[in-house]
Chains A and B, each alone.
Chain A
Amino acid sequence: MSSQANWNSLTGIATLLFDGNLVAIAIAILFTFGVPIALHIFFFQAVASPPSSNFLLLGPSGAGKTAFTTLLEAKSSLASNKSHGTHTSQQSTFVTVTLPPTVPTGSNRYRSDNDPSLKEAIRNPIKYRVRDTPGHGKLRLSQGISELQTMSQSKDIKTRLRGVVFMVDTAALVDEATLRDTATYLHDVLLLLQKRAKNGSSSKRTTDIPVLVAANKQDLFTALPPGVVREKLEAEIDRIRKSKSKGLLDASADTGLEDEEEILGNNEHETFSFKLLEHEVGIKVDVVGGAVKGDLQEEFGSGVRRWEEWVGMCL
């Protein structure tokens, strides 16, 4: 076969393609099967695996962060109905957990109850990732705050932060020192989020990161109710804000490493409240009570139900 000459004319090419050449058949088969598969891989995977939603778990040591994480893990795995015990963490961990199908999600807000796609959701429950961080004072800066910084500023859809869960031990909050410590940490977290919201608004639209103050250990007798926790934290943050504005500069201020200190909330003279923060900066803070241990009802892990609902509304 003199295929060389045939390439020159259109009819020659057509002849070559239609004359049952093995190579042509192979190419055709490869093309017909390959293109749909390639398209599927390219498009479907991008859509089918939704951006993994990350939640960051912050809070002082002993608030119950790791206990909460293990509880979620135990809940999402069908096999075990008992979470492991926990101790003070030294490292942060990423865990993937599933949202119980009974918890409504934010994206399904406008769906009717009879929507058949809701039934679909029961079969493959929504997954999200929780980052558990150590709450010890020495590890906060390096693992808690810096994690928040990188995750909140991340442009990658995979590591973007959907919400912050700030754990609070409501039974220990009566103690002045614990309250101060907790509020300082929360203050730092909110300040960082505020900086992000302010910087981001000018360049491009940033999704805001809501904060849940999870008032843990509601099962204990000495626990403060969520409303009181909210008041106490607001009052304490207000005091911290005032003293911060009058405090000494850091040593790094001389070298110009950091820009000027910012104040949480825009208005320095108004008393601080979470509502004010939402109004002025756009950071939503919810205080919701719950209990990791000592389930209120018989059902396993029912004490964290309301926090899961909050997580669901963020998804």
Chain B
Amino acid sequence: MLEAFEILTTSGVVLWSKAYAPVGAHVINSLINDVFIEEKVVPQNATASGVSPAYKKEKYTLKWKRVKEFDLIFVAVYQSLLHLGWIDRLLENISTIFIDLYKDQVKGDRARIQTYRFDQYFEQQVRELEDNTGGFVEEIVPETGERKDPLVSSDNGGPPPPQVPGLVKAQPRAALAGATSDEGTPPATPEISRSSTPQGHLLTAKAGPGGRGSRRARKAANSSANASSGDEARKGKPVKTPVKKMRRWDASGMADEDDGEILDYSAPAEEGESAVPAVEAVSEEDWGRRTGKGQFVLKELGEEVQSILDQADAEKSKGTASSGVVGSGFNAIGGFFRNIVGGKVLTESDLEKPLKAMEEHLLKKNVAREAAVRLCEGVKREMIGKKTGNFQSTDAALHVAMESSLRKILTPTSSLDLLREINAVVAPTSKQQAPRPYVMSIVGVNGVGKSTNLSKICYFLLQNKYRVLIAACDTFRSGAVEQLRVHADRLKELSVRENAGDVEIYQKGYGKDAANVAKDAVDYAAANKFDVVLIDTAGRRHNDQRLMSSLEKFAKFANPDKIFMVGEALVGTDSVMQARNFNQAFGTGRNLDGFIISKCDTVGDMVGTLVSMVHATGIPIVFLGVGQHYGDLRGLSVPWAVSLLMK
């Protein structure tokens, strides 16, 4: 069953919400974070029309619909255990109805303060869709009734429905209703009529699946009772709510109608009498509502909703139909002018060509095809239905959108301040933590420059006066340890000359298990008061299961604070798979912490690998290698990268 439904704006304000069960705010927040902002989770079947994308969090499944034009997001939350087929329809319908009713308010200044009285419409939709689907929803009904039971009373504050209405009982209830209802409406009758919506649910719960017919009847009785009392109030409003009209769209049989008629006789007499003293106070507000368009909504909710939906459908079909020969010709001319002048609402066909060009451009910048396609898809989704600015061509608008998209993908969620983190571990501020060496390890494919980048990092740390231990855990390739020793010797020489930190190498020769060597190195560093341990590992092919599997053990034994992967800027499409496989190689719960992109100086402005790697994993780029010297290590500057990519 539906747990909650929320309508929120992209600026983070919940315009309207309905919760059947308490759902923590973090559930929807994580949807926004993961899907909309970080784009970590790429929703499946997002392209299929008519099916809303789904996102799972804890025990809930969230489905949403985004309306670009109004910056609104409609989110439905339900338990993952249940398969509710009608959620897509519900999202579709609710978004149509809500926008139709409140389109002026949402656009206006007071959109965020306005209270949206949308409960009625929503309830009506839920009921209708629940009924239509039938089958398996039917068997959930008893359970939902139970769940709703406390909610109805807490939510509406309305009185329980008079099941066996008697005059004596009705009056205290009327007083209660006046006192507890949030709007403080004096008369009893409208109050009861309003709570007829949850009433229906209550009754189903009590009567079980069999009680559907009587529920309808009761509702009809209530509504007619209300109508008659309204007549007595002489508000001059013609209340044309015959019972039959109400029933027209309901799928119910003849028996209901008879049932309704019987109750019909008793109700008006009784209710009318009880309400007579309060007749003067009955205001328009109480038994109907003004919609956004100032229409008076009473009981024909179903019809009104239906007409809204039909209208939307008709518009949609008209839109597709009009794109005939004449229509397209006219549109083409108009579109041509608008393309120059701006202020054009973009459609998919407008974007097709420029997006293709944009994709080509990205591919030329060495962005992997997968990443380029995804970026273009994202931009397309963002752009469709948007209006271009004044004197802004489609290309320019696209350019801006792509730039912001690239910026978004490259900007890390939290920036890494390595020195600050090392300090926090080496010299903790709180007493509970014991100081220990900070462990970093570097992994990557063969020949990408793991050892070189390790020594660059080492040089950087040495300049900050740390004591660094280099652990040579490449016990496989001949000459690897010697190579590191050369680096260590040079760095030692440099640090003595510059009066910087201290560096040492830890090695156990060849043929040993790398994980054990790493563990020993960390222990050695802790015993000898080193600040940082840098672990060099053997290069491995990312699609070789045998070699990759040893990484898991390595991560467990050495337990590094940071695992960086070195990737070449030269590599093309393969970068995506490299990043993905290495990210998964450390077992569950352990991922890479960052990328070092080496050889950036060799590619000029074709720095697409940066995007590909981040796209594949969502893990930020920490360092860039930009030259042959020890000092040629740089942090990532997002504006720099974006400007290179868009050049």
**A and B physically associate:** yes
* A73–B112 CB distance below 8 A: yes
Within A47-94, the residues touching B (CB, 8 Å) are: 61-62, 66, 70, 73-74, 77, 79-80, 82, 84-93
Q: A73-B112, A79-B113, A87-B12 are in contact. Are A141 and B28 (CB under 8 A)?
A: no
* Complex CA–CA separation, A253 to B640 (angstroms): 9
Residues of chain A lying within 8 A (CB to CB) of residue B115: 80, 82
Q: Which of A112-120, A132-140, A200-208, A266-274 contacts its partner?
A: A132-140
- Asked if A252 meets B637 with Cβ closer than 8 Å, knowing A132-B11, A136-B37, the reply is yes
Report yes or no: A251 in contact with B640, Cβ–Cβ below 8 A.
yes
Q: Within A91-144, which residues are at the interface with B (CB < 8 Å)?
A: 91-93, 95-96, 132, 134, 136-142
Q: Are B638 and A88 in contact (CB under 8 A)?
A: no
- Check B13 against A137 for contact (C-beta < 8 Å): no
A240 within 8 Å of B (CB atoms): yes
List, in ascending order, chain B residues with CB within 8 A of A305's CB.
none
Asked whether, in the complex, the Cβ of A93 is within 8 Å of the Cβ of B110, the reply is no
Closest to B639 in A: A252
B634 to A142, Cβ gap below 8 A? no
> Which of the 9-residue segments B234-242, B245-253, B416-424 touches chain A?
B416-424
Q: Is B32 close to A, CB under 8 A?
A: yes
B37 touches A88 (CB 8 A): yes
A202, chain B: closest CB distance, angstroms: 26
Chain A residues whose C-beta falls within 8 Å of the C-beta of B36 in the assembled complex:
90
Establish whether residues A250 and B640, one from each chain, have CB atoms under 8 Å apart when the complex forms.
yes
User: When chains A and B are docked, how far (Å) is the Cα of A255 from the Cα of B638?
Assistant: 14
* A249 close to B (CB within 8 Å): yes
B496 CB within 8 Å of chain A: no
Quick one: which of A74, A85, A249 has the most chain B CB within 10 A?
Answer: A85
**Does B641 reach chain A (CB closer than 8 Å)?**
yes
B253 → chain A closest CB, angstroms: 42
How many Å lie between the Cα of A132 and that of B112 in the bound state?
A: 13
With A66-B11, A66-B13, A91-B11 as contacts: A139 and B635 at CB distance below 8 Å: no
Within 8 A of A (CB), among B1-20: 6, 8, 10-15, 17
Select from chain A the residue with minimum beta-carbon distance to B8.
A87
Q: Which residues of B contact A73 (CB under 8 A)?
A: 112-113
Binds B, one of A20-28, A159-167, A176-184: A176-184
Residue among A86, A91, A137 making CB contact with B14, cutoff 8 Å: A86
B28 to chain A: closest residue by CB = A87
Selected contact of B411 from candidates A62, A66, A142, A181, CB within 8 Å: A142
Given the known interface contacts A137-B415, A247-B635, the answer about A180 and B420 at a Cβ–Cβ threshold of 8 Å is yes
Q: Are A137 and B635 in contact (CB under 8 A)?
A: no
Q: Is there an interface contact between A137 and B412, defined as CB atoms closer than 8 Å? A: yes
- Using known A-B contacts A70-B13, A87-B28, determine if residue A243 contacts B412 with beta carbons closer than 8 Å: no
* B420 CB contacts on chain A under 8 angstroms: 180, 239-240, 243
A38 interface hit (Cβ, 8 Å): no
Q: A77-B110, A86-B12, A248-B635 are in contact. Are A138 and B411 (CB under 8 A)?
A: yes
Q: Is B33 an interface residue (CB 8 A)?
A: yes
Q: Complex formed: what's the CA distance from A128 to B408 in Å?
A: 31
Contacts of A96 in B (CB 8 A): 109
Closest to B27 in A: A87
Q: Is A254 in contact with chain B by the CB < 8 A criterion?
A: yes
CA of A73 to CA of B12 in the docked complex: distance in angstroms? 14
Q: How far is the CA of A239 from the CA of B426 in the complex (A)?
A: 14
Which A residues between 6 and 26 are near B, CB-CB below 8 angstroms? none
Q: Does B99 contact A (CB under 8 A)?
A: no
Question: In the complex, what distance in Å separates the CA atom of A113 from the CA atom of B326?
Answer: 73
> Chain B's nearest CB lies how many Å from the CB of A113?
32
Q: Does B417 lie within 8 Å of A90, measured CB to CB?
A: no
For window 172-220 of chain A, which residues contact chain B by CB distance below 8 Å?
176-177, 180-181, 184
Chain B nearest Cβ from A127, distance in angstroms: 12
Tell me whether B408 and A250 are in contact (CB under 8 A): no
Interchain CB contact (< 8 A) of B600 among A132, A248, A251: A251
- Bound-complex Cα distance A180 to B623 (A): 20
Interface string of B606-647 (1 = CB under 8 A from A): 000000000000000001101000000111111111010000
Q: Which residues of B contact A85 (CB under 8 A)?
A: 13-14, 17, 25
Cα A80 to Cα B8 in complex, Å, equals 18
Indicate whether A139 sits within 8 Å of B408 (C-beta atoms), given known contacts A88-B33, A250-B636.
yes
Cα-based distance from A27 to B413 in the complex (angstroms): 68
Q: Which of B21-54 contact A (CB under 8 A)?
A: 25, 28-29, 32-33, 36-38
Confirm or deny: B328 has a beta carbon within 8 angstroms of a beta carbon on chain A: no
Q: How far is the CA of A249 from the CA of B634 in the complex (A)?
A: 5
Question: Could you tell me if B637 and A141 are in contact, using CB atoms closer than 8 angstroms?
Answer: no
- Which residues of chain A are near B12, meaning CB under 8 Å? 66, 86-90, 132, 134
Asked if B414 lies at the interface with its beta carbon under 8 angstroms from chain A, I say: yes
A41 within 8 Å of B (CB atoms): no
B424 touches A176 (CB 8 A): yes
User: CA–CA, A88 to B25, complex, Å?
Assistant: 10
Docked pose: A79 CA to B442 CA in angstroms: 60
- The interface centre, meaning the residue of B12, B17, B464 with most chain A CB atoms within 10 A of its CB, is B12
Contacts of A142 in B (CB 8 A): 404, 407-408, 411
A87 & B419 in contact (Cβ 8 Å cutoff) = no
* Contacts A84-B14, A87-B25, A138-B38; A253 near B419 (Cβ below 8 A): no
- A139 and B414 alpha carbons, distance in the complex (Å): 11
Task: Name the B residues within 8 Å of A89 (CB-CB).
Answer: 10-12
Shortest A294–chain B CB gap in Å is 15
Residue of B11, B15, B624, B634 contacting most chain A CB atoms (<10 Å):
B11
CB distance from B113 to the nearest CB of A (A): 5
Query: B71 interface residue, CB < 8 Å from A?
Result: yes
Is B557 engaged at the interface, CB distance under 8 Å to the other chain?
Answer: no
In the assembled complex, B460 has its CB within 8 A of some CB on chain A: yes
- Judge whether B637 and A250 touch: CB under 8 Å: yes
Q: Are the C-beta atoms of B33 and A141 separated by less than 8 Å?
A: no
Contacting pair A87 B32 (CB below 8 A):
yes
- Cβ–Cβ contact B37 & A251, under 8 A: no
CA distance A139 to B38 in the complex (A): 9
User: A253: shortest Cβ distance to chain B, in Å?
Assistant: 7
Closest to A135 in B: B12
Contact across chains for B71 and A91 when beta carbons are under 8 A apart: yes
Contact A254 B634, CB 8 Å, known A73-B112, A240-B420: yes
The answer to whether B11 touches A92, judged by C-beta atoms less than 8 angstroms apart, is yes
Complex: A88 Cα to B423 Cα, angstroms: 32
Q: Quick one: which of B428-469 are within 8 Å of A by CB? A: 460, 463-464
Complex CA–CA separation, A74 to B10 (angstroms): 19
Interchain CB contact under 8 A, B13 and A251:
no
Cβ–Cβ < 8 Å partners of B624 in chain A: 251
Q: Which residues does chain B contribute within 8 Å of A249, judged by CB atoms?
A: 634-635
- The residue of chain A having its C-beta at the shortest distance from the C-beta of B415 within the complex is A184
- In the assembled complex, the CB of A137 is this many whole angstroms from the nearest CB of chain B, namely 4
Per the bound structure, the CA–CA distance linking A253 and B637 in Å amounts to 9
Task: Indicate with 1 or 0, residue by residue over B211-226, a CB within 8 angstroms of chain A CB atoms.
Answer: 0000000000000000
Closest to A248 in B: B635
Within 8 A of A (CB), among B483-497: none
Minimum distance in angstroms from B563 CB to a CB of chain A: 18
Known contacts A80-B114, A251-B624; 11 additional CB pairs below 8 A are: A70-B13, A73-B112, A74-B113, A85-B25, A132-B11, A141-B407, A247-B419, A248-B635, A249-B634, A251-B600, A257-B640
14 contacts between A and B (CB under 8 A): A85-B14, A85-B17, A86-B12, A91-B11, A91-B71, A93-B112, A136-B33, A138-B38, A243-B420, A248-B633, A250-B635, A252-B640, A253-B637, A257-B640
Q: Which residues of A contact B (CB under 8 A)?
A: 61-62, 66, 70, 73-74, 77, 79-80, 82, 84-93, 95-96, 132, 134, 136-142, 176-177, 180-181, 184, 239-240, 243-244, 246-255, 257
| Contacts from B to A (Cβ < 8 Å) | 6, 8, 10-15, 17, 25, 28-29, 32-33, 36-38, 71, 109-110, 112-115, 404, 407-408, 411-415, 417-420, 423-424, 460, 463-464, 600, 623-624, 626, 633-641, 643
Nearest 9 pairs of A and B residues by beta carbon: A89-B12, A252-B640, A250-B637, A243-B419, A252-B637, A137-B413, A85-B14, A66-B12, A251-B634
